[in-house]
Chains A and B, each alone.
Chain A
């Protein structure tokens, strides 16, 4: 029935530090919004970094849309990320000396200010274009981070612990924003968390244990 390859297909993926295995994923496929769920230290971030091409695996195979990229060079990976992936980092990681517009524009392979302005209005950030990122409130930063993650219309949005520090109300609103934007660009969300509150929004859940 499926002509299209899976978004991600993971096979016998292992990661070890100093001879000690910290990650072992025998087989795992991503076909829709996916949550990596498990306690702290179980390897969620490590798996996500490997999938995003930010960290090499120790052994095993991993494909994105049918392409095995475990053997890609640095520049091939840079290119892969720039074109296909968006990130919402746990600590937001705004570039403090750049303004909001510039922070969002960082991810655009082709600068598109109209797209940025549309996003900012969707996320309730209108009027903050010229404001320095370091002067934003935490809530504003969160929304800028989401805008930045989707500004280049990525196929996959990675979010590491997007809600860990938030109360129930804010958790819901942040997840709403992420999924609303993902829907608009038909992106797949892959999130990692120990927070089972958000479990219900995902098509697949990979339960991990340490």
Chain B
């Protein structure tokens, strides 16, 4: 007769312990998988999206919120900042590159980001098809946004689905980016002016035009790629002129739906790279102390965040280790506890010719079947759990969280199997050394 029959029958005869051990193992495995998966996801996103950004400048508020909203696009911005004020710092002599961002709208949850082509360059994002925006309301869609070339859509107010729809203006998709594995994949990019205009603010270029050049729209469309230089030669003459309008930045949310383009231009944030590590420290210090703006260091803020998350994930790790330990102990007590009653059975098997090795294998297999079933169940539960969480936890879904098979998976499986094997070892050895003569002549 097949030993598997004996093993399964025995497991079934103590099904309560068996199912409990299987589920405990499964929960432990599931939890460790989720931890590994989420921390590797967070780490990947933190690294890919934050790469090369030295300083983020935005409205005062929580520095972490500023970083999360403007670098990772998972929180709401701290507010808006006057463009003139921002421009001063974009031109600072220790600033190497500065990419302005204007947030405020979304399409089906994908954030519409008014920016410059520098933003694409920063992430080495190339176009899969089409071209960059040239006119207001032309947009370049990220590879994962469900938008196709030529699609038209209307932005909705707010950064999550369900805001007021800006009925009057319609975007048209003129380009699609190649997949980059960064936040770009899930953004819709357009010119700064598109976003500013739709919220009733003067465009950055309009703004200059209105005051100095009087309607040279064509000129600016052509020059879009060179906007940095363009900004350059207006900046110094202008900024004094606009210093008095700083208080406008809060009105954006309240009065953002009319289209008179009268408000002073405001943006949400600037992503900067500097020319020296010293500047990384000095520029934020000056900005935070002497201006209405806030500057934050992404590396610093994310280190703070991951150490906070790390604390959380450490307690989850402890919990999963605890669960697996309980499962293993449960397997051990299930085997060892039932062994007392089974010694007679095992003596019979030995008497009819089953070798010690075979008895060892039967008992060890009982434990390993539980571990294996628990591991497989835990793996499936982990997959399902991850997908459900990616579905309901918006930042995870928005950041494109998906299961990646990493070496840690293998490590989890090996350690669980090993722990299970150790738990079965003692009972199996004891079982294989059953004193046959004594058990059989035992008078109960």
| Chain A interfacial positions (CB closer than 8 Å to B) | 45-46, 49, 52, 54-55, 74-75, 78-79, 81-83, 87, 89-91, 93, 95-98, 102, 105-109, 111, 148, 160
Chain B contact residues, majority secondary structure: helix
Stretch from B67-75, B211-219, B237-245, B341-349 that touches the partner: B341-349
Give the residues in chain B near A82, CB-CB below 8 Å. Answer: 352-354
* Given A49-B441, A79-B353, A98-B6, CB of A106 within 8 Å of CB of B1: yes
Whether the pair B344, A78 counts as a contact (CB closer than 8 A) is no
Which residues on the A side are within 8 Å of B350 (C-beta)?
Answer: 54, 78
Q: List 25 A-B contacts (CB under 8 A).
A: A46-B437, A54-B440, A74-B356, A75-B357, A78-B355, A78-B356, A79-B353, A81-B351, A82-B354, A89-B351, A90-B443, A91-B440, A91-B444, A93-B344, A93-B347, A93-B440, A95-B6, A95-B345, A95-B348, A96-B13, A102-B1, A102-B6, A102-B9, A106-B349, A106-B352
**How far does the alpha carbon of A39 sit from the alpha carbon of B342 in the complex, in Å?**
30
Query: Separation in Å of the B17 CB from the closest CB of chain A?
Result: 13
CB-based contact B1/A105 at 8 Å: yes
- Is B348 in contact with A97, judged by CB distance below 8 angstroms? no
Choose among B349, B436, B441 the residue with the greatest number of A CB atoms under 10 Å from its CB.
B441
| Contact across chains for B12 and A97 when beta carbons are under 8 A apart | yes
Q: Are B1 and A111 in contact (CB under 8 A)?
A: yes
- Of B345, B352, B444, which one neighbours A87 at CB under 8 angstroms? B352
Q: Which residues of B (1-20) have their CB < 8 Å from a CB of A?
A: 1, 5-6, 9-10, 12-13
Q: For the complex, what is the distance from the CA of A111 to the CA of B352, rounded to whole Å?
A: 14
A89 B348 Cβ-Cβ under 8 A: yes
Which of chain A's residues have a CB closer than 8 A to the CB of B355? 74-75, 78
> Residue among B1, B9, B10 with the most chain A CB within 10 A?
B1
Contacts of B13 in A (CB 8 A): 96-97
Q: Could you say which residues of chain A place their CB within 8 Å of the CB of B444?
A: 91
Tell me the minimal C-beta distance from A175 to chain B in angstroms: 21
A95 to B12, CA, bound (A): 14
Chain A residues positioned under 8 Å from B351 (CB to CB): 52, 54, 81, 87, 89
Known: A49-B437, A83-B353, A111-B1. A93 touches B348 (CB 8 A): yes
Whole-angstrom distance between the Cβ of A157 and the nearest chain B Cβ: 12
Q: Is B442 an interface residue (CB 8 A)?
A: yes
On chain B, which size bracket covers the interface?
Answer: 20 to 34
Task: Given A54-B440, A55-B437, check contact A81 B353 (CB 8 Å).
Answer: yes
Q: How far is the CA of A210 from the CA of B283 in the complex (A)?
A: 103
Interface residue from A74, A106, A148, A160 paired with B441 (Cβ < 8 Å):
A160
Given contacts A89-B348, A102-B9, contact A54 B353 (CB under 8 A): no
CA distance A97 to B345 in the complex (A): 10
CA distance A52 to B9 in the complex (A): 29
Within the complex, which residue of A49, A91, A98 is in contact with B443, where a contact is CB–CB below 8 Å?
A: A91
Interface residues of B (CB under 8 A from A): 1, 5-6, 9-10, 12-13, 344-345, 347-357, 436-437, 440-444
Query: A54 near B348 (CB under 8 angstroms)?
Result: no
Q: B5 — which chain A residues lie within 8 A by C-beta?
A: 98, 102
Selected from B9, B352, B437, B441, the residue in CB contact (under 8 A) with A98 is B9
> How many angstroms between the C-alpha atoms of A148 and B348 in the bound complex?
11
The docked-state distance in angstroms from the alpha carbon of A46 to that of B6 is: 29
Decide if B344 touches A109 in the complex (CB within 8 Å).
Answer: no
Contact status B441-A109, CB under 8 Å? no
Task: Specify the chain B residue showing the minimal Cβ separation from A79.
Answer: B353
CA distance A85 to B440 in the complex (A): 15
Q: Could you tell me if A109 and B353 are in contact, using CB atoms closer than 8 angstroms?
A: yes
Give every chain A residue within 8 A of B436 (Cβ-Cβ).
54-55
- In the complex, which residue of chain A has the Cβ closest to the Cβ of B439? A93
What is the minimal beta-carbon distance from A187 to any residue of chain B, in angstroms?
15
Chain B residues lying within 8 Å of A74, measured Cβ to Cβ, are 355-356
Cβ A78 vs Cβ B354 within 8 A: yes
Shortest CB distance B1–A (Å): 4
Give the complex CA separation of A194 and B441 in angstroms.
Answer: 15
Q: A45-B441, A160-B441 are in contact. List 16 more A-B contacts (CB 8 A).
A: A46-B437, A49-B441, A54-B437, A74-B355, A78-B354, A81-B352, A82-B352, A82-B353, A82-B354, A87-B352, A93-B347, A93-B440, A98-B9, A106-B348, A107-B352, A148-B352
Please measure, in the bound complex, the distance between the C-alpha atom of A207 and the C-alpha atom of B353, giving whole angstroms. Answer: 29
Nearest A-chain residue to B349, judged by Cβ: A106
Which of chain A's residues have a CB closer than 8 A to the CB of B1? 102, 105-106, 108, 111
Q: How far is the CB of B349 from chain A (nearest CB, A)?
A: 7
> How far, in angstroms, from A158 to B9 measured CA to CA in the complex?
28
Give A89 to B1 CA distance when docked, in angstroms: 21
Minimal Cβ-Cβ distance residue in B for A109: B353
Interface centre among A45, A107, A108 (most CB of B within 10 A): A107
Of A81, A93, A102, the most chain B CB neighbours within 10 A belong to A93
Please, how many angstroms separate the alpha-carbon atoms of A165 and B353 in the complex?
Answer: 27
Q: Let me know if B352 and A89 touch, CB within 8 A.
A: no
Query: In whole angstroms, what is the CA distance A49 to B348 when docked?
Result: 13
Q: B9 to chain A: which residues have CB within 8 Å?
A: 97-98, 102
State A124–B233 Cα separation when bound (angstroms): 109
- Which residues of the other chain, B, contact A111 by a CB distance below 8 angstroms? 1
Residues of chain A within 8 A (CB-CB) of B442 are 91
- Measured between beta carbons, the chain B residues less than 8 angstroms from A93 are 344-345, 347-348, 440
